[in-house]
Structure 1
Amino acid sequence: MATLNTLRTRGGIIVSVVIGIALLSFLLGDFGNTGAKLMNDRKMKVGTINGEKIGYAEFADKVDVYTKALETMYGSQSLSAEQQENVKNQVWQALIMQYAWEPGFEQSGLQVSENEQIDMVDGSFISPVIRTTFTNPNTGTFDPAIVRNFVTQIDKDPTAALVWNFIKDQMIQQRYLSKYITLVAKGMYVTDLEVEQGVANSDITSAISYIVKDYSQVADSTIDISQAEVKKYYDAHKNIFRQTASRDIEYVLFDVLPSDSDYVDAEKHINEIAAEFAVSETPLQYATLNSQNPTEKRYFTEDQLPAELAAFAFGANSNGMYGPTKEGDMYTMARVADSKMLPDSVGARHILIGADQKATADSILNALKGGASFAELSATYSQDPGAKAKDGDLGVFQPEQMVPEFSEAVLETHKGDYFTVQTQFGIHVGQVTYKSEPKKKVQLATITYKIEPSETTQQTIYANASKFISEAAGSYENFEKAATDNSLSKRVVRIKNTDRNVSGINNSREIVRWAYNGNKGDVSAIMEVDGNYVIAAITGVSEDGIAPLETVSPQIVSILREQKKGEILAQEMTGSSLAEVASKLNLEVKEAANIDFNSFYIESVGVEPKLIGAVTGAKENTLSKPVAGQKGVFLFDVTSRAKVDNVTPESEKVRLEASAQAYIMERVNQALTEQSKITDNRVKFF
């Protein structure tokens, strides 16, 4: 309602705009205390960007500033885990922009001047960040008046200044990136030759007769690969073995689940509650005091409730009690606390003033009752620019869409009458403008109770985990033996340094941090993760850069073995005709059709890009050379070709241009990131 309130929930949109253009997807974990182990000079760098060391304090301070700004924009006391993660992503991106990208952009002659920044806020080319942030809550569209009103508060309100600096940072980052991508895009074009070749590749299809001899027909044991050959291949193809930092771990999980006695105790407890709840004269109060989940106090229509609960609440037995019912480990019971005839939707207009201006509110109310113009008083006094632009009108809404105090005041006031009510936003002087036809609604007093493991059960399971730790004795060999001796299933997972959680375990950032602060062979202490106990061992450590030869040697051996098999099979596939070779090798001649250069796969053959390329370039009715494909070596004849007119030069040019633009978006981000020389160690801290 107030100007800052119009920004609430818009922070997520800012994140989407900036990250969407930058195409960045750094994933981080919770921001918290990492312990004294990390608090030394050697480990206090969260990363390096373009040679600049990013200290823990610098990163944390910027996270704090961004967090406060977004808390204001979201209108919350604290951010959720997901929102905290987004903050760290934005801070890291801002630091990359500050230390790597902006200097490079400026060297290229790109600038975002003060005059341009003014134009981005209140000119001809409004920034997407501004446009998506300052929207009218009633229309959902950009409202320049809200921007101007907000800017007037910057010098008066430190919170507004904090938010504005955050928005300004995002706005400038977005403009730099937009300019750079546009600059690169202007250098991309499609030639006539490319269009001509593209049309030819799409408009001609080939039919072939072929034979294939699978690699599996040559035994692995017959192929010798020397270490020298492996080393030679590795040296010539190092770039394909580039890797990101990762940790391989194995872990055992001790699930903390209710025991049989816990279920018995829970049933006894819920029956006792049910007996008291059934006869309580204040069911809503009783439910509020005894339900594990907060009791919903709103009123529901019949079609807003689950069928079984609705049948009870609006049926003949609504004076009784629903349940207890048990679904999984959750008990539920309910009673009808109240029923009323209420409208589904209401309308109102209001004038919002400060919480300390009660005398002014009383004067406005008296003036309205005396016939004063609502629109004129709204224009003079209201602090809600969105509503002020509509003479104070908030439109038609469902009661639950507004803060409870405001909605209750509207529901309790007759259409056309005035009211005053104070909420977290200030004092509202309002008038009810609309009420839909009332219908029966019920307020339910609902008690939920989830069966949880008792303290005794938790202690028993923890004792089992402690026994395992004792047997593991801090080494991977003992870890393996303890898992086998205790019939525990080991789970294997690879963790990247951008992973927030271990796959399959919620809220497991603690495991990720531990893995990146440990060494190969380490065994963890007992970690409590998502209510369960986890013990892990590090089995492999990989750092950013080119994978070591010993790590990729098995992969290279497999590649070289297949190449040698291909050479052996190709030597066997000689002859004057396809039929002759097929007869000699006892292979079946098969047919395939509708092959063009843009094909992804060949029907009945599979994904074979090398074969598709060879077919496209082969002469008709001429025996091909052997082609080493994905599953084996192929020999083929092009038996016919047909012109199908799939595309026109105009449509092909559009396709190629679109493909080039998509390539730019992908490669610009990749190139900028590579040139920024980024080392990201945040996983060790957060």
Structure 2
Amino acid sequence: MLIVGFALFAFIIGDALTQGSTYFNKSRETVAQLAGEDVNIKDYTANIDQMTEVYKIETGQNELNEDITNQLRTSVWESMLNEKLLFAEAKKLGLAIGTDELSDRLIGNNIHPLIVQRRAFAGQDGKFSRPALVQFLNSLETTPENDEMRTQIEKAKSYWKFWEKNVKITLLQEKYNALMTKAVTANSLDAQSEYEAAKKTFDVSYVVQPYFTISDSTIEISKSDIKDLYSKRKNLFKQEANSSLNYVVFSVKPSAEDYKKVETTINNLSSEFKTTADVAAVVNTNSDIRYDGKPYSVQTVPANLKVFAFGSPAGATIGPLFENDTYTMARVMENGIMQADSVKIRHIFLKKADESKTDSIWKAIATGGDFAALARKYSAVEQTAANGGEIGWIVADVQGLDKEVLTKSFASAVNGIFTVKNDQGTQLFQVTAKTAPKSKVKLAILQMKVSPSNMTVSKIFNEAKQFAAELKGEDFANKAQEKKYVVRTANELQAATDKIADIAQSRQIVRWAFENKKGEVSDVYDCDNQFVVATITDKAEKGIRPIEKVTDQLKAELIREKKAALMIEKLTAQLAKTPSLNSLGATINSELKVAPAVNFSAYQFGAAGFEPAVIGKATTLGANKISAPIKGNAGVYVIQTSNPTVNNTTFDKKMQISMLNSRMSYSLPYAIIQDIRDKADIKDNRMNFF
């Protein structure tokens, strides 16, 4: 019985553990909880990958640096957050985007600007082209003939899905905004108030005593004053969880031995480089820059070689030169070249089975045949065939195009025809246009940048490692000072902070700061060309900032209040003696100024800027009267109004309401979505993954 009971117990526990394992695995894959919905890390990273590919297509960049990658990841997060919250709110209100409605804005008669503005759907004139859009969409249905083509089609599908989704979200946002702006509208009382506020206008003369004319050190603020104000202001001091660091950076730079080694190497190569008949072999074996025979123009040649390149005969050499940690030698291989920067080409691709048609198609083109019609009939590349074989403009250093195609394209005359053959088949090309030829030169450049050797890197790493090993948190600043290291600070880092200052790959340090306690000292972090050792100086939980963190801010406000009280007392006494602005200005050394055309609806008080209390007083003071001292934002003011002007335009309730609603329509949608975000239960677990 005992054995049976134990076996039953083991079975129950085993089953519970299996279910628990599934739960915890799922929990570990949750990057966020938004609007009551779990977001799986796979979905999040898929969206990041999609936006990355879209960015590459839109910008033409293939290599993205760390900053761009971080920006894209943050952009995906913000988009996902807004999308989830928007769809949740829209569902409550019964808002949706119908299939026909979406189709009309994607490919119908009312195409959305998000589609119209895409370069991928532009015609030869650079403007949006419906045929180009249709051609693109048709290409998504093409049966791939190889893996490369399959990859390109998948990227194109992902690109379209991205913009399709964004159009749908934008349309839903527009519907939601329209509903909200109609629900919150100005009424007749608002309209009347706005009309009255702008009806009467004054010119306002004023003198001001700035707060900075009284030294802060002369004002006493007690701890109880600060505590009382903190109690009143608490809700203004909300904070997210954060960590603060002190850190030391060990820059990885070449040593004197590294410089000497490269200098010796390039000097030893100098004679051979200047005399060899096979300069390509010497350069491509030793240089950071390959020699491929492509000519340089005045615009593309390195700036420090421009004068030499275009002012020297063939065979001339220069260097070694040293600049920006780089040794350089150059040799003019050919000059006097006149070549276009860009050429425009079109093609017809014939598969192996159709190569026998090459000569007849060539002859047809050469005798005036319609190239576009032939391309549509015979070319196997559907995407370009549908557009008459057009590839478009290419430049000499374009990436991804066969070198033979490039060479022959630039060597051919306008309307010239050439073929390029490979394992897949034969392509006929025709050059249809060229930019004006420019002077160019072929230049062989042997360049060697001085980089830290492994020995140098190891030495710097060991120095950082030794520093970290000797430390406790409280000793960090003192030990660093003893070794004459510069201690830097990173205050109140957020869990989602991607980068500390300008330190590459420093996200790993942020994660460490949130996973460890105050006072901990890190190991050495490898951050590209820098090693970093850090200590956690402070940690704070989500909630209200403690009083000691906002004491300076509160004290500054209290000091200003006390200064205002002192100034008002003295200015009031002075006004009793000399009740004129000129006299008062002379007494307090303040120039008499004028704020023109002030009314109650004004946002600015002349050159003084945002001073609502002064504006309010000016509109109720009465003409030619001198005010009592007024506490403003920048100082204490005394004002006098003149030149009252009344706008006798008849009150138009409908127009006033329309103006107010129009003004509100810009800020209300943002305020609403921000309020939804503030009230949403958002759990951000990105730190566990990135």
Normalising by structure 1, what TM-score?
0.79
Size of the aligned set, in residue pairs, is: 638
**Equivalent residue of 1:298, what SS?**
coil
Q: Does the aligned pair in 2 maintain the 1:516–1:684 contact within 8 Å? A: no
Partner in structure 1 of residue 259 of structure 2: 263
Structure 2 CA distance for aligned equivalents of residues 289 and 617 of structure 1: 84
Q: Does the aligned pair in 2 maintain the 1:206–1:593 contact within 8 Å? A: yes
Moved more, 285-294 or 563-572: 563-572
Partner in structure 1 of residue 110 of structure 2: 125
Partner in structure 1 of residue 419 of structure 2: 420
Partner in structure 2 of residue 177 of structure 1: 173
Correspondent of 2:550 among 547, 552, 556:
552
For structure 1, the 5+ residue unaligned runs are 1-38
Q: Does 1:685 align with 2:668?
A: no
Q: Does 1:112 align with 2:91?
A: no
Structure 2 CA distance for aligned equivalents of residues 589 and 417 of structure 1: 80
Q: Does the aligned pair in 2 maintain the 1:347–1:394 contact within 8 Å? A: no
Q: Which amino acid aligns with 2:642?
A: S
Q: Does 1:140 align with 2:126?
A: yes
Would the alpha carbon gap of residues 661 and 548 (structure 1) be closer, same or farther in structure 2, given more than 3 Å must change? same
Q: Does 1:482 align with 2:468?
A: no
Partner in structure 2 of residue 309 of structure 1: 305
For each residue in 1:290-344, what CA deviation from the matched residue of structure 2 results, as whole angstroms up to 9, or x when unmatched?
1124446421234653576233233344312122211121222211234474431
**Equivalent residue of 1:314, what SS?**
helix
Shift of 1:442: 1.9
Q: Does the aligned pair in 2 maintain the 1:215–1:633 contact within 8 Å? A: no
Structure 1 CA distance for aligned equivalents of residues 376 and 621 of structure 2: 78
**Counterparts of 1:543-622 in structure 2 under 5 Å?**
543-575=541-573, 577=575, 579-580=577-578, 587-588=588-589, 590-595=591-596, 596=598, 598=602, 600=604, 603=607, 608-622=611-625
**Counterparts of 1:53-452 in structure 2 under 5 Å?**
53-64=38-49, 81-82=66-67, 84-85=69-70, 87-97=72-82, 99-133=84-118, 134-136=120-122, 138-155=124-141, 156=143, 159=154, 160-185=156-181, 192-193=191-192, 196-197=195-196, 199-200=198-199, 203-209=201-207, 216=214, 222-226=220-224, 230-295=226-291, 297-302=293-298, 304-305=300-301, 309-339=305-335, 341-344=337-340, 347-353=343-349, 357-370=351-364, 371=367, 372-382=369-379, 391-393=388-390, 398-400=395-397, 403=401, 404-421=403-420, 428-435=427-434, 440-452=439-451
Structure 1 CA distance for aligned equivalents of residues 450 and 500 of structure 2: 26
Shift of 1:116: 1.7
Shift of 1:118: 1.8
Would the alpha carbon gap of residues 409 and 672 (structure 1) be closer, same or farther in structure 2, given more than 3 Å must change? farther
Whichever of the two has the greater Rg, that structure is 2
Structure 1 CA distance for aligned equivalents of residues 238 and 650 of structure 2: 40
Moved more, 87-96 or 512-521: 87-96
Shift of 1:422: 5.9
Would the alpha carbon gap of residues 627 and 349 (structure 1) be closer, same or farther in structure 2, given more than 3 Å must change? same
Would the alpha carbon gap of residues 307 and 225 (structure 1) be closer, same or farther in structure 2, given more than 3 Å must change? closer
Shift of 1:409: 2.2
**Equivalent residue of 1:492, what SS?**
strand
Structure 1 CA distance for aligned equivalents of residues 388 and 107 of structure 2: 23
Q: Does the aligned pair in 1 maintain the 2:626–2:641 contact within 8 Å? A: no
Q: Does the aligned pair in 1 maintain the 2:362–2:428 contact within 8 Å? A: no
Structure 2 CA distance for aligned equivalents of residues 295 and 612 of structure 1: 70
Partner in structure 1 of residue 640 of structure 2: 638
Would the alpha carbon gap of residues 439 and 606 (structure 1) be closer, same or farther in structure 2, given more than 3 Å must change? closer
Structure 1 CA distance for aligned equivalents of residues 645 and 85 of structure 2: 51
**Equivalent residue of 1:445, what SS?**
strand
Structure 2 CA distance for aligned equivalents of residues 679 and 262 of structure 1: 50
Moved more, 189-198 or 512-521: 189-198
Would the alpha carbon gap of residues 685 and 464 (structure 1) be closer, same or farther in structure 2, given more than 3 Å must change? same
**Equivalent residue of 1:443, what SS?**
strand
Shift of 1:654: 10
Structure 2 CA distance for aligned equivalents of residues 656 and 98 of structure 1: 29
Partner in structure 2 of residue 513 of structure 1: 511
Shift of 1:172: 1.9
Q: Does the aligned pair in 2 maintain the 1:405–1:423 contact within 8 Å? A: no
Partner in structure 2 of residue 674 of structure 1: 678
Would the alpha carbon gap of residues 92 and 187 (structure 1) be closer, same or farther in structure 2, given more than 3 Å must change? same
**Equivalent residue of 1:96, what SS?**
helix
For structure 2, the 5+ residue unaligned runs are 1-23, 145-149
Q: Which amino acid aligns with 1:131?
A: V
Shift of 1:497: 3.9
Partner in structure 2 of residue 453 of structure 1: 452
Structure 2 CA distance for aligned equivalents of residues 633 and 71 of structure 1: 55
Structure 2 CA distance for aligned equivalents of residues 428 and 102 of structure 1: 50
Shift of 1:284: 2.7
Correspondent of 2:33 among 33, 39, 48:
48
Q: Which amino acid aligns with 1:443?
A: K
Shift of 1:561: 4.3
**Equivalent residue of 1:281, what SS?**
coil
For each residue in 1:332-361, what CA deviation from the matched residue of structure 2 results, as whole angstroms up to 9, or x when unmatched?
22112344744315655423447xx13435
Q: Does the aligned pair in 1 maintain the 2:496–2:687 contact within 8 Å? A: yes
Would the alpha carbon gap of residues 41 and 122 (structure 1) be closer, same or farther in structure 2, given more than 3 Å must change? closer
**Equivalent residue of 2:311, what SS?**
coil
**Equivalent residue of 1:577, what SS?**
helix
Q: Which amino acid aligns with 2:686?
A: R
Partner in structure 1 of residue 11 of structure 2: none
Q: Does the aligned pair in 2 maintain the 1:204–1:644 contact within 8 Å? A: no
Shift of 1:248: 1.9
Partner in structure 1 of residue 539 of structure 2: 541
Shift of 1:252: 1.0
Q: Which amino acid aligns with 2:81?
A: I
Normalising by structure 2, what TM-score?
0.79
Q: Which amino acid aligns with 2:126?
A: G
Partner in structure 2 of residue 626 of structure 1: 629
Q: Does the aligned pair in 2 maintain the 1:47–1:53 contact within 8 Å? A: yes
**Equivalent residue of 1:350, what SS?**
strand
Structure 1 CA distance for aligned equivalents of residues 529 and 192 of structure 2: 63
Q: Does the aligned pair in 2 maintain the 1:368–1:374 contact within 8 Å? A: no
Would the alpha carbon gap of residues 239 and 67 (structure 1) be closer, same or farther in structure 2, given more than 3 Å must change? same
CA RMSD of aligned residues (A): 4.2
Shift of 1:85: 3.5
Q: Which amino acid aligns with 1:379?
A: R
Would the alpha carbon gap of residues 648 and 456 (structure 1) be closer, same or farther in structure 2, given more than 3 Å must change? farther
For each residue in 1:380-439, what CA deviation from the matched residue of structure 2 results, as whole angstroms up to 9, or x when unmatched?
344667765664455666544583443322233344342223699996422233456656
Q: Which amino acid aligns with 2:593?
A: A
Structure 1 CA distance for aligned equivalents of residues 216 and 337 of structure 2: 82
Shift of 1:270: 1.9
